[in-house]
Amino acid sequence: MFKTIIMWVFGVLLLLQAIQIDIPEPEVIDPKEVIQAPEEIMAMFKTSCYDCHSSETNMPWYGNVAPISWEVRSHIKQGRKWLNFQTWESYDEEKKQKLYKGIAKSISLSMPIPMYLNLHEEAKLTRAQRESIRKWAQSNIKEEN
Ligand code: HEC
């Protein structure tokens, strides 16, 4: 009985591997489109945001194993769609302004995604680091009259 269950679980997991979410191959990165920010801010973006918000994802092994990969890959797909730091300069001013506001807000609330942080110790940001990202984003927001 136990053996049969194990075989079934294993079989189903194997079948699931046939279903994968495609994320586009990393596009060629145009250095002119990459966001310009002070060095220490860039360093934090690279360690804490680039996996989902750039064209260069460091895919973990479980990013290829269904069903975990569905979650991982949909985060990457969605993340890039919302904000890709490496295609930043292709955005118009309105979109940039929205994103500066989004960064200022999400950096103290929801980004990086908590589940990601559970698996990526190196991506954790201290309160002071979050504050410096927030200040940088804030300084780029133009006052609306
Ligand atoms: C594990 C993947 C992942 C990581 C890492 C990550 N994000 Fe995101 N991000 C997403 C996804 C997915 C979305 C799409 C919206 C959502 O699901 O909340 C998003 C949306 C956003 C948005 C747009 C939402 C809004 O309210 O404007 C901003 C801004 C953002 N992320 C900033 C960041 C910053 C800054 C970092 C690094 C400090 C970061 N993210 C790290 C996955 C990620």
Identify the residue whose tokens are 């801010």.
Answer: 41
Q: What is the DSSP letter of 34?
A: S
Query: In which band, very low, low, confident or very high, does the pLDDT at 35 lie, cut at 50, 70 and 90?
Result: very high
pLDDT (average), residues 23-42:
89
Which of 10-19, 20-29, 50-59, 107-116 has the weakest average pLDDT?
20-29
How many Cβ atoms are within 10 Å of 89's Cβ, its own excluded?
Answer: 13
| Res. 145: pLDDT tops 60 | no
pLDDT of residue 109: 84
The CA distance from 111 to 103, in Å, is 8
Cβ atoms 134, 104 nearer than 8 A: yes
Rounded percentage of the chain residues whose pLDDT exceeds 70: 98
> Within a domain: residue 117?
yes
Q: How confident is the model at residue 26 (pLDDT cuts 50, 70, 90)?
A: low
pTM equals 0.91
> Is the CB of 43 inside a 6 Å radius of any atom of ligand 1?
no
Rounded to 5°, angle at Cα 52 from 48 and 53:
85
The answer to whether position 144 is within a domain reads no
pLDDT reading at 124 higher than 90: yes
Q: In what helix (H) or strand (E) does residue 56 lie, and over which residues does it extend?
A: none
Virtual torsion, Cα 44, 121, 108, 127, nearest 10 deg: -80
Ligand 1 atom, smallest distance to 72 CA: 1
User: Which residue range(s) make up the domain with 46?
Assistant: 2-139
Ligand 1 atom closest to Cα of residue 103: 29
Q: Give me the percent of the chain exceeding a pLDDT of 90.
A: 83
Task: Name the closest-CA residue to atom 1, ligand 1.
Answer: 116
Please confirm whether the linkage preceding 114 is cis (ω < 30° from 0).
Answer: no
Q: 140 CA to middle of ligand 1, Å?
A: 18
In a domain, 145, yes or no: no
Whether 102 is in the pocket of ligand 1, judged by its Cβ within 6 Å, is yes
> 């940001």: which residue's tokens?
125
Give the pLDDT confidence score for residue 105 in this predicted structure.
95
Which residues neighbour 104 within 8 Å (Cβ) at sequence distance 6 or greater?
134, 137, 138, 141
Looking at the structure of the chain, the number of domains it has is 1
pLDDT score, position 22: 84
